[in-house]
Amino acid sequence: MKKAVIIGGGISGLATAFFLRKKAEEANKNLRITLLEKEDRPGGKIRSIKADGYLCEWGPNGFLDSKPQTLDLCDALGIRDLLLRSSDTARKRFIFSGGTLHRLPESARSFFTSRLISWPGKLRLSLEPFAPGPPRGVDETLAAFGRRRLGKEALRKLIAPMVSGIFAGDPETMSLKSCFPRIAELERDYGGLILAMLRLAKKKRRERAEGKVVSSPSGPGGVLTSFRNGIQELTDFLAASLDSDTVVLGEAAVAICSGKTLPYRVHTEAGDHDADLVIVAAPSFAAAGLLEEYDRGIADILREIPYASMTVVCFGYERDAVEHDLDGFGYLIPREEGLHTLGTLWDSSIFHNRAPEGHVLLRSMLGGACFPEYLELPDKEIVRRVQSDLATTMGIKEPPAFVRVFRHERAIPQYTVGHGDRLRALEERLAVRPGLIVTGNSYRGVGLNDCVAAADRAAEQGVRYLLGR
Ligand SMILES: Cc1cc2nc3c(=O)[nH]c(=O)nc-3n(C[C@H](O)[C@H](O)[C@H](O)COP(=O)(O)OP(=O)(O)OC[C@H]3O[C@@H](n4cnc5c(N)ncnc54)[C@H](O)[C@@H]3O)c2cc1C
């Protein structure tokens, strides 16, 4: 019987174990899988905490249904019926700018009537089809792309908040091709974003007229989807679907090295695990530490991927204490506004059961690549700053009835300029280490869908290696 060791029990490691078992069974291959997780619970960044009738998400609050990966995984787990789609109201997203919350325009008409972007800014944006093409051979930053195609105002008020909403990142350092490959593709294939939108809308209309089923995502990128008891249900079900001796909690891998009887040996605090196949689904900085002795070159590349930290603050209020209608998803705040928070999600508007009857739950994010110092602030100061921002943005004067502060050190990998080259160099080095695979959110996407897609690829590669193909 062949042996596989997976390191890391977040969504990436758990999904890898799930796919690996399935693919091995389909290939009639006997495989013993051991998944090592250093914490005493599976899930990694995914954790749903119930307290005082509130349901607080520690990290992600769902996945988007516009990509199939997580939905397909839910089907395979038989838990599709348990999914909870965000409310219709969550389509409405806002940007805080110039002292007001502006609804993010979703159509050409709402774009022209919106006061978010000034008239000169709108004119500049409408000239997007005539913008110069991408510079050749350059890994362009998101900021350079924004200035080139959409203008400085759109960069500050639209692109930068979007980058902080997804990556907690700084657009001046992040790579367009690595963070949003689809946008780079649209520019290349259609000559511009507006042209791409028009052509794709035309294509959809034609497909509809031909009777094809065409998705119409509500809100940018689809509908946010979770579970009644929070997104942790996903990783709980995944862990429960694996054999009882597969997931080993509270056992941290310490080093990966060559084995004596099998190709690899994983040292842990509790002993050794010999393996034919090792898949590292821990963050790249942790993977670097594990591989330091075995392959310094791989470790050096992994260590170059920077991370941004984040602090998540949940505030619960009696409904009457908040005058704002909370009709929407929440808002992001451009850096120039000079506030502390990156944005606030109206969690109990997105999923109605996140607060007790007659109460609301708001979730604010602080820190990220532009404000690393926030991780060091004491809770009291963090709470004071969030309260001050909520007074400015939404006019909330009352102190919250419920408070939780969650800190994520090295929360989200930053796909900075050069990330694509780093991945190519990593692949080259891994190619001479057959049976050693890395996966997770450090490489090709941080969303849950991306992690599940990467897990599927890692499992496929692992099974092919074991089958000698
Ligand atoms: C605040 C926040 C909000 C987010 N919101 C969303 C969202 O709404 N939607 C979305 O799609 N994505 C969101 N994301 C991104 C998404 O949550 C992550 O990209 C994803 O959960 C990462 O999963 P992972 O398994 O790759 O890594 P992790 O969840 O970090 O799991 C890695 C695991 O490896 C373990 N590990 C580390 N070292 C070792 C070792 N030596 N031995 C054994 N185990 C080890 C860790 O303990 C951890 O459990 C958010 C992220 C954050 C931080």
What residues does CATH 1.10.3110.10 cover in the chain?
Answer: 107-209
Residue 10 alpha carbon to ligand 1 centre in Å = 6
What's the per-residue H, E or C state across the chain?
CEEEEEECCEHHHHHHHHHHHHHHHHCCCCEEEEEEECCCCCECCCCEEEECCEEEECCCCCEECCCCHHHHHHHHHCCHHHEEECCHHHHCEEEEECCEEEECCCCHHHHHHCCCCCHHHHHHHHCHHHCCCCCCCCCCEHHHHHHHHCCHHHHHHHHHHHHHHHHCCCCCCEEHHHHCHHHHHHHHHHCCHHHHHHHHHHHHHHHHHCCCCCCCCCCCCCCEEEECCCCHHHHHHHHHHCCCCCEEECCCEEEEEECCCCCEEEEECCCEEEECEEEECCCHHHHHHHHCCCCHHHHHHHHCCCEEEEEEEEEEEEHHHCCCCCCCCEEECCHHHCCCEEEEECHHHHCHHHCCCCEEEEEEEEECCCCHHHHHCCHHHHHHHHHHHHHHHHCCCCCCCEEEEEEEEEEEECCECCHHHHHHHHHHHHHCCCCEEECCCCCCCCCHHHHHHHHHHHHHHHHHHHCCC
Q: Which of 7-16, 105-114, 156-165, 342-351 has the lowest mean pLDDT?
A: 105-114
Q: What is the pLDDT of residue 213?
A: 60
What residues does CATH 3.90.660.20 cover in the chain?
Answer: 62-89+307-413
Residue 8 alpha carbon to ligand 1 centre in Å = 9
pLDDT in tens, 188-205: 999 999 999 999 989 888
Atom of ligand 1 nearest to the CA of 42: 49
Residue 35 alpha carbon to ligand 1 centre in Å = 15
Q: What is the pLDDT of residue 208?
A: 83
What residues does CATH 3.50.50.60 cover in the chain?
Answer: 2-43+238-305+415-466
Q: Is 164 in the pocket of ligand 1 (CB under 6 A)?
A: no
Q: What is the pLDDT of residue 133?
A: 94
Q: What is the pLDDT of residue 323?
A: 96
Q: What is the pLDDT of residue 362?
A: 98
* CATH number belonging to domain 107-209: 1.10.3110.10
Q: What is the pLDDT of residue 218?
A: 39
Average pLDDT, rounded, for the chain: 95
pLDDT in tens, 231-262: 999 999 999 999 989 999 999 999 999 999 99
Atom of ligand 1 nearest to the CA of 412: 53
Q: What is the pLDDT of residue 468?
A: 87
pLDDT in tens, 340-384: 999 999 999 999 999 999 999 999 999 999 999 988 999 999 999
Where is pLDDT greater, at 414 or 110?
414
pTM: 0.96
Q: Is 366 in the pocket of ligand 1 (CB under 6 A)?
A: no
Confidence of residue 212 (pLDDT cuts 50, 70, 90): confident
Q: What is the pLDDT of residue 190?
A: 94
In this structure, the residue with its CA closest to atom 27 of ligand 1 is: 10
In this structure, the residue with its CA closest to atom 5 of ligand 1 is: 60
Q: What is the pLDDT of residue 155?
A: 97
pLDDT in tens, 399-446: 999 999 999 999 999 999 999 999 999 999 999 999 999 999 999 999
Confidence of residue 107 (pLDDT cuts 50, 70, 90): confident
Confidence of residue 209 (pLDDT cuts 50, 70, 90): confident
Residue 365 alpha carbon to ligand 1 centre in Å = 16
Mutate to test the pocket of ligand 1, among 19, 40, 45, 285 (most ligand atoms within 8 A of CB): 45
Q: What's the whole-number mean pLDDT along residues 75-86? A: 97
Q: What is the pLDDT of residue 106?
A: 87
Please name the fold of domain 62-89+307-413.
Answer: Polyamine Oxidase; Chain A, domain 2 (3.90.660)
Residue 44 alpha carbon to ligand 1 centre in Å = 5
CATH of the domain spanning 2-43+238-305+415-466, picked from 3.50.50.60, 3.40.50.800, 3.40.630.30, 3.40.50.720: 3.50.50.60
Residue 41 alpha carbon to ligand 1 centre in Å = 13
Residue 217 alpha carbon to ligand 1 centre in Å = 26
Q: What is the pLDDT of residue 214?
A: 57
Q: Is 60 in the pocket of ligand 1 (CB under 6 A)?
A: yes
pLDDT in tens, 82-101: 999 999 999 999 999 999 99
